[in-house]
Structure 1
Amino acid sequence: MHFDRSSFNSSGSSAASSASGGENMNAELKPITPQLVKALQETREKQATQDISSLISKPSSYKIDAGDVLSVVVWDHPELSNSATVPVGGYGGQGADASTSAATAPPAGFMVDHDGTIQFPYAGSIKVAGMSQDQASQVLGQKLSKYLRNPKVTLRVQSYRSKRVYVDGEVKTPGLQAINDIPMTLVEAINRAGGVLPTGDQSQVVVNRSGVNYQINLPQLVQRGVNPASIMLKDGDVVRVRSRDESKVFVSGEVVSPRALPMHNGRLTLNEALGESGGVNPLSGDGSQIYVIRRDGGNQVVYQLDGSKAGAIAMAENFELSPKDVVFVAATPLANWHRSISLILPSALSGAVGAVTPATQR
């Protein structure tokens, strides 16, 4: 690879023509200065601040809905308990048929129908959808009071099957998570899925609700004093933890070990990228020509760092990279000249070196 600074005009911009479609792609050269670093940080903070107020709410009691199975106990009246809904001895007789039938049988209890009602002896049809467990207990007790004296009813959700969220991506056990009486926060959902894997990026957590994606940066929320546990999930939400491999930075050119580097929870500075690549090659690298190529919409923006100036290391430490950035270190003029001569006359340099080498050193 070779980076030609002469392609930029005095204003710091250039236009390159695409070989396939003939379209022009504008590129702009900007020197990295303390003022530029500060401006980029302010822009990054504005872009990272997405309105997630619709996701933040206070925990509320669980609301019964269609599909839930309720456990109802009427004190001093065992004939009205859950056992009355299951025939004695199971559903299929004895032996293998009995075990098969028991495995396929619905759970013992009162299932909430699709219209949000249950059928209870003496009380008849009761609409419990949208009620809490205590509210449903009171309604059922009022219905039974016509036939029983001071009925005491204990109603609980035995099987939570009406509300679910889906956790996907870089978690240990992705899949469906049922919403129960424990408030389903974002942290709770991720913990139930086994937590974020080492390959997961905690700064790239996406919550999809009703077709809208909310980008959530967990470390950034903590820094701002926002508790991630205040983000409440609802039925149908999809949580996806993206991989760190989706946010890589590519370091090439005259460095000791060119490589692709994953970002650390959404953050990687230019200084860190150069350090993890072994730094500028001392034999062929030009420290005054360190470039960061970034795609900004339809244009390419090229940032240049002059490492020979005072304060360059501080600027490189504060210059944050973005996913898919390319860090390129140009070669020195002498290295370019040596390579050009080696391509034109492959054996000339080795012959010249051999001619000037003393015989005692051969």
Structure 2
Amino acid sequence: MPQNSLITTGLKLARWPALAIATAWLAGCAYAPGLSMGQNLAADAQRQTAGTEQDAPPPGALLSITADLLRQQRASLPTDIGQGVKSLFGEAAPYTIGPGDVLNIVVWDHPELAIAAAASSSTADVSSLTAVGNGYNVSPNGLIQFPYVGQIQLGGMTEFQARDLLTKRLAKYIKDPQVTVRIQAYRSGRVYIDGEVRIPGLQPINDLPMTLPEALNRAGGLTASADRSRIAISRNGSTTAINLLQLSALGINPNHILLRRGDLLHVHNRDESKVFVMGEVTRPLAQPLRNGRLTLNEALGEAGGLNATSGDPRQIYVVRSAAKEQAKIYHLDASAPMAYALAEGFELQSHDVVYVDPVPLVRWNRVISLILPSAQAVNVTRDAAN
């Protein structure tokens, strides 16, 4: 290469470090690497080039966390449980015999009417059959077969109604019959319970009312990871969400919720409802809600608070997105300690993103850390050319 060309190339390369640093300085923190919300989103959006204007929030999406905002949120809290939960309310009624149930029927002083236990060579089998006694299976149509009486419809009756009917029918053949009817095995109605319970599975509906607390108790109670604010009951193709804490706050006894045959009860895991704390905090993390509740203060506390060297307390944001609505961004200026009282009253929702911006000096330092290696590479190339 001619010597004049080498000199020209060296001069051009020598100007590169200064040019790169000057460009980065003029750009400032707006082009710092990593996610950044900016000190004033609306103003930043106007100053950005056309290629970055798409990052600006839609009009009205940026909301300041103030005492007025907290009052509006508290006023919007539901004061009623809704029609969906009310539709699950019911009054306990006596158990009625249904298909699949096994009945134990005794006609006193008439052992010939009792079903004899089958013979067995095993002592254990004999004892188990003796415990079963004379069981009559109820057919899908609610019928049983009984001596003298033949087929008799007992489905839909209570134990006492079935006893009275059998006594009336047997009176034609036996003088003053003394009959006892009891349900030996409850098999006509079941509720399936799964999720965060200790003993998931099928629970039969028996003579005790199958209320929501009764069903949870039969399943061994809730596990440590259960979300008491997210219990779902599926019935007839529709699912209703139940918040036990909301019921308690409204003074409603959950025993009013009565389960029916075929209901599915599911208890959600609290890890399914999380908020994400990111940015300049000590420990970025995904924090689950505590039974449906978590304040901004609690989320920041779980993350170890703001990073003392890089976090900007004036720039704390909560990004909240909804399926059918535009995302909203809530901004908290916590430069004054009193602002954390507002953070304590700000309720987070599932899948909120809490983000803390870095201070401008940190963002500038990150820009420099990317530029200097390139500048050093240019200097090495220039020295090699010389």
Indicate the residue corresponding to 1:352 in structure 2. Answer: none
Contact 1:251 1:260 in 2 (8 A): yes
Indicate the residue corresponding to 1:122 in structure 2. Answer: 148
Task: Give 1:34's match in structure 2, choosing from 28, 50, 67.
Answer: 67
Cα distance in 1, alignment partners of residues 137 and 57 from structure 2: 63
Cα distance in 2, alignment partners of residues 325 and 41 from structure 1: 18
Following superposition, the deviation at residue 43 of structure 1 comes to 2.9
1:330 aligns to 2:357 (yes or no):
yes
Partner AA of 1:294 in structure 2 = R
Cα distance in 2, alignment partners of residues 261 and 107 from structure 1: 56
Contact 1:69 1:107 in 2 (8 A): no
Indicate the residue corresponding to 1:61 in structure 2. Answer: 94
Residues 1-362 of structure 1: pairs in structure 2 closer than 5 A: 1-5=34-38, 8-9=41-42, 26=58, 28-45=61-78, 49=82, 51-81=84-114, 83-84=115-116, 86-87=117-118, 89-90=119-120, 94=121, 108-298=134-324, 299-309=326-336, 311-345=338-372
Match of 2:84, SS state, is coil
**Residues 50 and 329 of structure 1: CA distance in aligned 2, closer, same or farther (over 3 Å):** farther
Following superposition, the deviation at residue 319 of structure 1 comes to 0.7
Indicate the residue corresponding to 1:355 in structure 2. Answer: none
Cα distance in 2, alignment partners of residues 241 and 12 from structure 1: 44
Cα distance in 2, alignment partners of residues 287 and 327 from structure 1: 13
Partner AA of 1:51 in structure 2 = G
Partner AA of 1:163 in structure 2 = G
Match of 1:296, SS state, is coil
**Residues 206 and 9 of structure 1: CA distance in aligned 2, closer, same or farther (over 3 Å):** same
Following superposition, the deviation at residue 79 of structure 1 comes to 1.5
Contact 2:280 2:311 in 1 (8 A): yes
Partner AA of 1:314 in structure 2 = A
**Residues 344 and 68 of structure 1: CA distance in aligned 2, closer, same or farther (over 3 Å):** same
Q: Is the radius of gyration larger for structure 1 or structure 2?
A: 2
Q: Pick which of 133-142 and 290-299 moved more.
A: 290-299
Q: Which has the higher strand share?
A: 1
Q: Gapped runs of 5+ residues in structure 1?
A: 349-362
Partner AA of 1:62 in structure 2 = Y
4+ runs deviating over 6 angstroms: 10-13
Cα distance in 2, alignment partners of residues 295 and 48 from structure 1: 24
Contact 1:271 1:317 in 2 (8 A): yes
Match of 2:248, SS state, is helix
Which structure has more RCO (C-alpha within 8 Å, separation ≥ 6)?
2
**Residues 279 and 291 of structure 1: CA distance in aligned 2, closer, same or farther (over 3 Å):** same
Partner AA of 2:63 in structure 1 = K
- Over the aligned positions, Cα root-mean-square deviation in angstroms equals 3.1
Cα distance in 2, alignment partners of residues 320 and 53 from structure 1: 26
Task: Give % identity.
Answer: 47
Cα distance in 1, alignment partners of residues 95 and 301 from structure 2: 51
Match of 1:146, SS state, is coil
Q: Which has the higher helix share?
A: 2
Contact 1:12 1:30 in 2 (8 A): no
Cα distance in 2, alignment partners of residues 297 and 99 from structure 1: 60
Match of 1:135, SS state, is helix
Partner AA of 2:95 in structure 1 = Y
The C-alpha deviation readout for 1:129-169, integer Å capped at 9, x for no partner, is 11111111111111111111111111000011110000011
Q: Gapped runs of 5+ residues in structure 2?
A: 1-33, 376-386
Aligned residues: 332
Following superposition, the deviation at residue 347 of structure 1 comes to 10
**Residues 297 and 42 of structure 1: CA distance in aligned 2, closer, same or farther (over 3 Å):** farther
Contact 1:50 1:214 in 2 (8 A): no
Match of 2:87, SS state, is helix
